[in-house]
Structure 1
Amino acid sequence: MLEIIATTIEDAIRIEKSGASRIELVSALTEGGLTPSYALIKNVVQSVKIPVNVMIRPHAKSFIYTYEEIQLMKEDILVAKSLKANGVVLGVLNENNEICEEHLSELLSVCNGLDVTFHKAIDELADPPRGIKILSKYPQITNVLTAGGKGNIENNIEVIKKMISSASHINIILGGGLNLQNIAVIMEKTNARDYHFGTAVRENKSPFGEISLEKTKELVQIMKMRD
């Protein structure tokens, strides 16, 4: 599975045209991705046939949220669901840089019927494989997006393998630091099935660049060759 970040309707159309499997829809890519607007979610979902997963993240200050922010996130989840998004992408930590299970449970309470990805907040943990075991307690969580922790993904191979072996029902999606030069090696070393790309498939690798059809089609071909 190849998931690519979109920030506009045009991005989404290009991603679908490239042959990619799924879209992660965000705003503010320079901030790591925030919750997109109602109108953008609505129009992207209506413009493509492939699944669209929506980022639920109210700010880029941290992954620690107040009670009021959790209520806002719950409402944004319900909006995404009402607009026929395939799923949502979220992550919550506490002051100790641990998964905040209280807030996670509250968010999951409104995620029925949605694909749920716990995003790269997991890479902030001291022990990401332990984090996967915690997340595996929640049947609603279908995916975890990770680079295997902090630093270069190519140096995190052993951690990624541990995360995959601990994942239970969860799909481990690799993302963060992937590019056309290292993807084949990462695929071979981790044997992961699902991959996530952001700026690496944009013109000049810029968050402001357009999605490159050439790069995304090349990625699709690399993944088909592996299969």
Structure 2
Amino acid sequence: MKLPNMSNASYGSLGFEAARHPGFGPAYAFSYSTDREGEPLEGASVRFAWDESGLFVLAELEDSCLIQKNRTDEQLHYESGDLFELFVKPLNEPYKWEMYATPFGNKSTLFFPSWPTELTPEEGLTQHEFHGLDVSVEQTPNGWNARMFVPVTQLTALGAGWGDGTEWTVFCGRYNCNSEDLADPELSMAPPLSATNYHLINEYARLVLSGGHA
């Protein structure tokens, strides 16, 4: 996990549409950061939905070699293998969540009251009470699919609104390991940031809640 590096890019340069659940919005493909050439060796995409109960996320990931050595919830799973990461932040608030799904169905939630932060990842993992994330995983012939549900009780716990007209940002990252020693995982993302640093919060996509009122 790299140290934060604040970008000069502004919020909202890219919007990700979340459809009214049970529908899902369009699929957004993962890519490398914009300072890298080429395309990921194994593709992935993410889609979003919402209703008054919270945020729904569907990630579809190609993966020829499923590796995750930590089969326990609430861990720093990026240290131990393949991982899908969801970052959610209210547009005009300093705090953010970092949430994980592994190919074997484990989950984790980190919370940072502000960013940049003085908290270590371990403190971000343990010093909060946000444990309502729901994760379900399906392994497929080509890889794995992850579904996440973030409850509205978490999203609004610190006073942010939720529903049509509220302002949120999202980002998704991936660790794709192709060797048991976990060396040189392929890192891809949606939207593509200016560097391979998943904490460039000013470059996260605006989450557009469409399809009606909550």
Pairwise TM-score range, normalised by the shorter structure: under 0.3
Please, what TM-score do these two structures have when normalized by structure 1?
0.25
More helix by share: 1
More strand by share: 2
